Amino acid sequence: MEAASGACTPAFGSVTVRPGDTRFDSFLRGHNTRFTGRPDQVTIATARDHVAEALGRAVAAGRRVAVRSGGHCLENFTASSDIKDLIDLSQMSDVYFDESRNAFSVGPGSIVTPTQHTLFKGWGVHIPSAGCSEVGLGGHILGGGYNFYSRIHGIAVDQLYAVEVVVVGADGQPRTVVATREANDPNRDLWWAHTGGGGGNFGVVTRYWMRTPNVNSTDPAKLLPRAGNQRVRTVQWSWDSVSPQGFTTLIRNYCKWFERNSAPGAKEVQVWASLSASHHSAGVITLLAGVEDTVVGGEAMLDGLFTDVVAGTGVRVASDSRYALPWLDRENWYWGASGRQKDKTADLRKSYTDEQIATIYRYLTDDSISNPGAQVNLAALGGRINTVASDATAYPHRDSILRVYFTPGVWRTQAEDAAHVAWVRKLYRDVYSRTGGVPVPDSVNAGAYINYPDADLADPEWNTSGTPWHTLYYGANYARLQRVKNAYDPRNVFRHVLSIRPS
């Protein structure tokens, strides 16, 4: 298949880097510097044929292979000590409109911010994907992909029209498959598996095509969600004014607001928000929220959120700012720092109980760590995300209202690992103490999000629920994912601690 008009010519061909090359050490670590691999070689691929060649060599030699695009995996999926061949896709980063498929073509090495800038500058559209500027879309889209604007536009895989994947057959030979969402596509199950099935499972994605479903147009400016300017408000409350009861009330009020205002079609789903309940060493708790500036009554809805959240809390405002945020603005995308990390996630269908919130308060006021980046962050979901059936995509979280992110922050030295990792592990375990230390899906919990992988969920020391890790991530979709695994990766070439297991 020839490249469509708009594709970029690579600056160089395939390059193999081995120990002794001055470039080699730069490929050993990703964003989470707790993990450092030592492959025998790294192949920097600039075309799908390079990927196929590198895969063929690795499989023929019986060598463990992994693939990296942006390098933001939170676990050691691409930096395990048994990985001998690493395929780097970072140079496959072209973004263009592909007339032959009437969709936007996105290379797996594409990074969030430049991709969004290209889509906006060229056509005024965007992909509702990560809010972290440097994340690679190659792995991010595979897990589902969401950001502030997903309540309005859905998640990234809701826009996925087709995917090009290099897979390895039972004979050990790589082949390239293009799978689409078309009902008559014989490879449609492979497309489906890439709508939330996570990275490192079925093959190597060498191209995505993005187009919103059921849009009948050949005008590129109508084929993805429109990007709009925002009205934003940020309020910080001083930790010095936060009592245990005030904290419980604040978090409960926030959760309850989203219980009331996350139904598909409700006007309030146009409001997005992120509450950062930071460790008390940060000095403040922050609520960031916004609404597109074209929404009638948007500012009143935004203020209603802030009013409802602080009701009865007694907290003192440390700062309160309002500003217009043009779409093409650095603040539209978080700029996360790399370093040593251990993070966890969980989805909520309803508010935490007062007991759970009191547990969060206890850890956020615990001095066993003193990291201003440590926090429990609650980001808004619901709205358009929840208009899709849970089995229509591999991403199953179609009735959540909030995504909770537990992090001890980023730290620099190995000597600090034990304290930071223990803090977040115990926090998570104690918040979910009534369900075996993990968010077992029930009337309140909705499992966990695979793009924040956490190997502890597969560890019986930390998951005592009796519920397997794959139920937390994939729910009832796991059995179908296993069937896709059997069909397209029968040799289990693509594997890691949380990979789809052959059935």
pTM as predicted: 0.95
Residue 65: which of 73, 98, 56, 74 has the closest Cα?
56
pLDDT of residue 4: 46
Please tell me the distance from the alpha carbon of residue 452 to that of residue 144, in angstroms, as a whole number. 11
pLDDT of residue 227: 93
Here the contacts of 8-15 (C-beta below 8 Å, separation 24 or greater) are 8/94, 8/96, 10/46, 10/47, 10/91, 11/46, 11/91, 12/46, 12/91, 13/46, 13/47, 13/50, 14/43, 14/44, 14/45, 14/46, 14/47, 14/50, 14/53, 14/54, 15/43, 15/44
pLDDT of residue 332: 64
Is the separation of the CB atoms in 75 and 455 below 8 Å? yes
- List residues bridging with 104 in a β-sheet: 97, 210
pLDDT of residue 6: 62
Please tell me the distance from the alpha carbon of residue 234 to that of residue 317, in angstroms, as a whole number. 11
Structure tokens that stand for 13 in this block: 């061909």
pLDDT of residue 334: 60
Is the separation of the CB atoms in 157 and 364 below 8 Å? no
Average pLDDT for consecutive 10-residue bins of the chain (503 residues)?
56 91 90 89 96 97 94 87 94 97 97 93 92 85 93 97 98 98 98 96 97 95 96 97 98 98 96 97 97 96 98 98 86 69 97 98 94 96 98 98 97 95 98 98 97 97 98 98 98 96 94
Domains of the chain, each with CATH number or no CATH: 15-226 (3.30.465.10), 230-326+337-475 (3.40.462.20)
pLDDT of residue 2: 34
